[in-house]
Amino acid sequence: MAAADPSPSLFVRPLGAVEGNPTALKLILGGKLRELRSAAGLDPADVDVKLGFSRSKTSRIELGRHGCKPSDALALLELYGVEEEERVAEFMRLVAASRRPDWWRSFNDVLSDFFTPLVALEGAAATIRTYEPFYVPGLLQTPECTQAVIRSGPGRLLDHEIRRRVELRQQRQRQLDLPDAPRLWAVVDESVLMRSVGGEQVMRDQLHHLIAMMKRPRVTLQIAPLDVTASVGVGTGVSYLRFALGDLRDAVYIEHLTDSTFTQKPATVEQYRDMLDRLGACALTPKETGARLRASLEALG
């Protein structure tokens, strides 16, 4: 059996604030267990048999889809030859942290399954890059704008369901107020400014809010003129999560009408990163964007 990595830590670097995100920790721990298994020359099916796991349990743990119980973690580390007390203690501390409830679990009554991957991981990102062709990005919406956007969506929702979804979005936005908040870089289609979502007063307040948010050092907003989005060929909204940790792969989230695509496949992620790079290079600069927002505000009177 191959020996484990001799580095002082099992992980690429200290995880820092990510330790407060149980979903991210499950992915990181699963990825590390996959590396250790590979180094030990074992297949997932081999591990299932050796440890008496149910079929595919090892694969589910490695993909972050199955929380790792402390007893399972200890058994896996022993099987993979990780014996140093310091490393085992570090790993088990993170296992305990990964088993805490995520904050968004309290919104399960209104949180769609297809939206969960983005909500679960965006707070752990170093940078959130997003392009929106139809609405102001959710992380930059006022509560009134959020309510109008939700009401315009498919299906008929009860008032309390709308209120809960607004609260969920506000809770997501509060992550931008934290000391270790992700950097938000948003590109918005120019047509968004031409839609009066919720009426003139809602749009007026929303424009004021965008101008205020642009003053934050960790928020960048760019307006993409219509000819730019036509030439780049984006087609739909996308969110790209860039993680500073080598133990967690970057991800892309593309939302559709009734479902979404969430992937960490390197080839797909690279394609969308390239698209966002081209959009950012062709869009108005932040200074020009601020002027465009003020012009739109003046046009509303």
- 150-194 pLDDT tens trace: 998 877 889 999 999 999 999 999 999 988 899 999 999 999 999
CA-to-CA distance for 165 and 109, rounded, in angstroms? 9
Predicted pLDDT of residue 8 = 55
* CA-wise closest residue to 34 among 248, 283, 216, 212: 248
Predicted pLDDT of residue 233 = 66
Reported as a pLDDT band with limits 50, 70 and 90, residue 4 is very low
Reported as a pLDDT band with limits 50, 70 and 90, residue 260 is confident
Task: Record the pTM.
Answer: 0.89
Whether pLDDT at 5 is above 70 = no
CA-to-CA distance for 253 and 102, rounded, in angstroms? 19
Q: What does the buried/exposed string (b/e) look like for 49-86 if buried means 16 or more CB atoms within 10 Å of the residue's CB? A: eeeebeeebbbbbbebebbbeeebbbbbbebbebeeee
- 85-112 pLDDT tens trace: 999 999 999 999 999 999 999 999 999 8
What is the token pair recorded at 62? 């490695």
Show the domains of the chain with their CATH numbers.
17-100 (1.10.260.40), 110-300 (3.30.870)
Quickly count helices (H) and strands (E) in the chain.
Answer: 12, 6
The average pLDDT across 36-60 equals: 95
- 224-255 pLDDT tens trace: 998 887 777 667 889 999 998 777 899 999 98
